[in-house]
Chain A
Amino acid sequence: MTTRRTSLQAYLLSAPALVIVALLFLFPSIYNVILSLQEISPFQGPGDGEWIGLGNFEYVFGNPEFWAIARNTVFWLTALTVLLRIVFGLALAVALHSPVLRRWKVRGLARTLVLIPWMVPQVVAIASWRWLLDGSSGVLNQVLVGSGLTESGVAFLAQTSTVWWSIVAIIVWRELPFVVMVLLAGLQSIPDEQYEAASLDGAGRIRAFRSITVPNLRPVLTVVVLVTVIQTFNNFVYVWLTTGGGPGTYTAVLATELYSMAFFANKLGAGAAIGLVMTMIMAVFAVLYMRATRTEDQ
């Protein structure tokens, strides 16, 4: 009797949260599957779609540009930026962990400064970088022209040779602090006895880094990679507000393609189909993530 009443209470307390999550996550996810099988525009009601089977998928996959867009998403947007974040993030975390900073009493300052890109909203980060990279009066071009490295300003965001590297730079800059922070916490959690024992055994710094730091950080690195992959793969803002996917569709990614398809081409069904593809790819990473965090809990 008491248990039944207390679980009723638990359901009542959880009800508002569950209703909101169901309304905004659960039902839309299911409805997205239905949409992907229909032809429907943003100006129609939810029931007005026309069933067209797998037509949307045929349409999306049949577009030769789709595969270039998928490649952009996997390589430029996700793999490259995650790799660079891990490399720079690990280097910075090791530097910030060094006792040298404490000796010079700059540890707190350095750790605050490194977080600054993370404190500004993504849209602001993009605005600031677009200004830095501006083709005529951006400060980078002023330095390049002023020092004679280039004759005239480089339109970093308008030409194919530089546009992806510019977007990659913006993403790595804005998202690096998260990686540094987590890796730094990981470094701090390594017990010193291991380093002491290694030093007694005559191991040098590089050996200690390889045999103690790296293996100890491996679980943290796994989680960081999975989290950043999941966050970045779905990101819409960086590409959309930097280039709008251009020049042409040269920098388009799945998230911007979904948006253009749904709200510019007015094909909500095709947009939903792209969304379903993205969800299925991310489901793999979600399962890996849950597995990685669960084994650590044990």
Chain B
Amino acid sequence: MSAVTQQEAAPAPSRLRARRRDSSARRASDLVLLVPLAVVLLAIIFPVLWMVYSALRPVQDIAAGVSWSTLLDNISLDAFVRLFEATNFEQYIVNSLLVCLVGTFCTVIVASLAGFALSRYSFRGRGAMFLLLVATQLLPFVVLITPVYLFFSQLGLLNSFPGIVLVYVAMTLPLAVLLMSGFFNGVPRTLDEAARMDGASTLTVIARVIAPLVWPGIVTVSVTAFIAMWEEFLFAQVFLTDDSLKTAQVGLAGLFGEYGTDWGVVMAASTIAAAPTIILFSFLQRRLVAGVAAGAIKG
């Protein structure tokens, strides 16, 4: 008996007391929690469901309102067709993908090098570097817009992809370095020492020995950086004013800025603009959640 209890309690020891009383039998009183929780969760996901639903409804129905009897009548991709006919949204998506993929690649490479230095070497200024990285995370990012704008206007980096990529790499780099150095700390030093004995250079050690071992960590850092870049609005709005260079979020915001908004089109654009982050998030939900939670709790 006690062995059974122990085994059962192992995955979630927190509820030992409750389990001992009623094992795992479902009870009618559970509904006191379940029903309100279900209502709350439904309310929480409703705006996203409504977004996708509105994107699939024909234009005349959107203005007419909702009725249960015709809820699923005339579902179509019409709004998406209108979106691509009337706007350059496909261009904005391509721009966003390009900027975010290149930016993510740069962030991961640069962060791996610096993360390795923080993890493996004790050098003068190491503490200061940590402090600098944490401090950048706490600085109001919006404050940088005026000084960086003037720098970039002088360097000809306004209305250019290299300019916005540089901003996005800088924006995601501090967290990426801190995360990477944490992942490297989990790899025993004896491994890189052994590789060095065989005559491998530092860069070879990082690329061939350490990186394959922290692969899941690199994926986490990449996805976190990509999502942050994909969602960014302010700098893209100020720095990329050419219509042919706009990103998805800026393009989307332009759609509902005007009067007489075609909400079917806006919701179609919203659905597309949210798809990459929703997909990436779903793939890596557990790991991202664990990372964020660990960052806030620590010990």
Contact = CB atoms under 8 A, between A and B. Distances in A.
A206 interface: no
Nearest to B13: A192
B13 to A, nearest CB: 5
A70 interface: no
The residue among B140, B174, B293 with the most chain A CB atoms within 10 A of its own CB is: B140
13 contacts: A17-B114, A26-B132, A103-B26, A112-B285, A119-B274, A119-B277, A121-B273, A128-B48, A137-B62, A192-B14, A268-B146, A278-B140, A278-B143
Interface stretch (B39-47, B70-78, B186-194, B211-219): B39-47
B14 A190 contact: yes
Given A45-B153, A119-B282, A279-B140, A17 B173 contact: yes
Interface string B268-299: 01100110011001100100011011101111
A127 interface: yes
A63 interface: no
B113 interface: yes
A25 interface: yes
A121 B296 contact: no
Contacts of B123: 6-7, 10-11
Given A20-B169, A123-B233, A234 B16 contact: no
Interface in A80-113: 92, 95-104, 106, 110, 112-113
A61 interface: no
Contact of B274 (A20, A97, A110, A124): A124
B12 interface: yes
A237 B233 contact: yes
Contacts of A29: 139, 143-144, 147
Contact of A128 (B117, B126, B146, B270): B270
B149 A42 contact: yes
Interface string A255-267: 1001100110000
The residue among A122, A123, A224 with the most chain B CB atoms within 10 A of its own CB is: A123
A23 B37 CA distance: 48
A108 B43 CA distance: 18
A149 B135 CA distance: 50
A161 interface: no
Contacts, number: 303
A279 B143 contact: yes
Contact of A115 (B15, B34, B63, B289): B289
Given A137-B263, A237-B233, A110 B37 contact: yes
- The contact size tier of chain A is 35 or more
B252 A124 contact: yes
A219 B16 CA distance: 25
A129 B26 contact: no
A245 interface: no
Contacts of A122: 231, 233
Contacts of A20: 110, 166, 169-170, 173
A16 B133 contact: no
Interface in B249-280: 249, 252-253, 255-256, 263, 266-267, 269-270, 273-274, 277-278
Nearest to B290: A185
The residue among A190, A263, A285 with the most chain B CB atoms within 10 A of its own CB is: A263
B50 interface: yes
B45 A134 contact: no
A209 to B, nearest CB: 14
Contact of B253 (A96, A199, A241): A241
Nearest to A174: B47
A13 B121 CA distance: 10
Q: Which 6 A-B pairs have the closest CB atoms?
A: A24-B170, A185-B293, A275-B143, A17-B114, A10-B121, A28-B147
A128 B50 contact: yes
Contact of B33 (A98, A128, A189, A258): A98
Contacts of A188: 14
